[in-house]
Structure 1
């Protein structure tokens, strides 16, 4: 691979790829604070030892590989003292014990971050054949863990229909589809969802982010997936930031992976948990 020649080159690489590492870390841990702690530990490791990036095929693979070494050394567990409450953490830990090891990681790296199986094999440091098997197993593992109710906030009819189809095929139910901020708030408060799937720009030029914030204030914390063509604009280091993002144009696998991962960390009492 082409190595960065100096500290400026390394800084440029990290700056370009950091939003995506943070997105991945948040999806893996389920929260901004815990995900960012792992991302920060990754950066500190690379700054301390630049040789960490010398053996991978690309700097991006090296960045994610370093993250995974830290994640694995910590046991791949949600950190104590994170911003997740006790109920959320205990449920996440219970579900982790019922999943194949490394399956969530492979699922997210492949479906959300768009790495090839060969790159994932380098990142997780397992044979490619095992990575491919883990991916296919993850698609069923995650789908079997939980099912719940989803509110879709999307102003484009075809996309809304597509999202509804994907979500229902996964075994979830859709509480409603909203095209505007006001409609989203009305439908979300009328029937509280376990998960909100929201576009950023809505039909009347209102904001999907504003709609979600209003719903979370009314309903309390629950997982949200935002859909955007520019995910890096929502991963700036400011607060609040979404833990789950789908990049437009999306694939069905991306939606399935994000929905499964978000449902994995859902907290509502009504959710059906498969045993």
Structure 2
């Protein structure tokens, strides 16, 4: 029997996973609420929540093609940093089958359509690294903004199919506030980048649907960009 304290401790991770699947804070949190009453008893609390969320959404369209659960396994092993063995347990597959579906999902990510990306980052070296990684994923960088004001200006002038934003812009303002201002006139998915993603999942006020932990590798970035671009268009049944 999972205790209330154990459940509270793992909720931020479950909420992040659910939001990444649905592309929406509201839909993701509603999904977690549906999952909590029927957790499998044979798994630890964190894995049990992941498993129930996976079960509730395993009939989702998966990356446009391929077998079910590929998207889930990919997010579990990258976003949630779950081992392949535990991800297989969550999905109810053997490890070899899980590995095959992860490979298929990664191949689909690599074949994803490109989009225009606005980067909001005040550290020049990190900004250039992000530019190279984003371009390596096949996307186009329409601008790099170091301040809140510059981000709003670039978004207004050039638009964006995806926004990749740091949280802390130093003296240049706040990345979350910049995005809020941008989304008043521009409709685009947003990935926030931070070293402490759990701090953004407190259930207080409006929160981002996509939060990526620093540091990250090219594969993780590719998966995040694909998921942010496509998740909102994948129906839940």
TM-score of the pair, normalised by structure 1: 0.79
Q: Does 1:12 align with 2:5?
A: yes
Q: Does 1:244 align with 2:210?
A: yes
Quote the residue 1:218 is aligned against.
185
**Structure 2 unaligned regions, length at least 5:** none
Match of 2:48 in 1: 62
- What's 1:172 paired with? 139
Give secondary structure in 1 for the equivalent of 2:131: helix
What secondary structure sits across from 1:98 in the alignment? coil
Residue correspondence of structure 1 range 116-265 to structure 2 within 5 A: 116-219=83-186, 221-265=187-231
Aligned to 1:49: none
How far residue 252 of structure 1 moved from its aligned partner, in angstroms, is: 2.5
**Aligned-pair CA distance for 1:28:** 0.4
In structure 2, the partner of 1:25 is 18
Q: What do the CA deviations read for 1:80-109 (whole angstroms, capped 9, x no partner)?
A: xxxxxxxxxxxxx6x754344222111111
Task: Check whether the contact 1:194–1:266 (CA below 8 A) recurs between aligned residues.
Answer: no
Distance 1:259 1:30 in 2: 12
SS at match of 2:169: coil
May I ask how many residue pairs the two structures share in their alignment?
233
2:72 is aligned with 1:105: yes
Q: Secondary structure at the match of 1:146?
A: coil
Q: Specify every segment of 5 or more residues in structure 1 that has no aligned partner in the other structure, as ranges.
A: 5-9, 47-51, 77-92, 268-275
CA deviations 1:232-260 (Å, max 9, x no partner) are 22112233211101012223322121111
- Counterparts of 2:47 and 2:168 in 1: how far apart (Å)? 32
Kindly indicate whether the alpha-carbon contact (under 8 Å) linking 1:145 and 1:264 is maintained by their aligned counterparts in 2.
no
- 1:153 Cα shift? 0.4
Q: How big is the shift at 1:223?
A: 0.4
Q: Give the deviation of 1:189 after TM superposition.
A: 0.9
Contact 2:35–2:56, Cα closer than 8 Å, also in 1: yes
Question: How far, CA to CA, are the matches of 1:265 and 1:121 in structure 2?
Answer: 22
TM-score by length of 2: 0.91
Please give the alpha-carbon distance, in whole angstroms, between the structure 2 residues aligned to 1:97 and 1:263: 13
Distance in 2 between residues matched to 1:17 and 1:165, nearest whole Å = 34
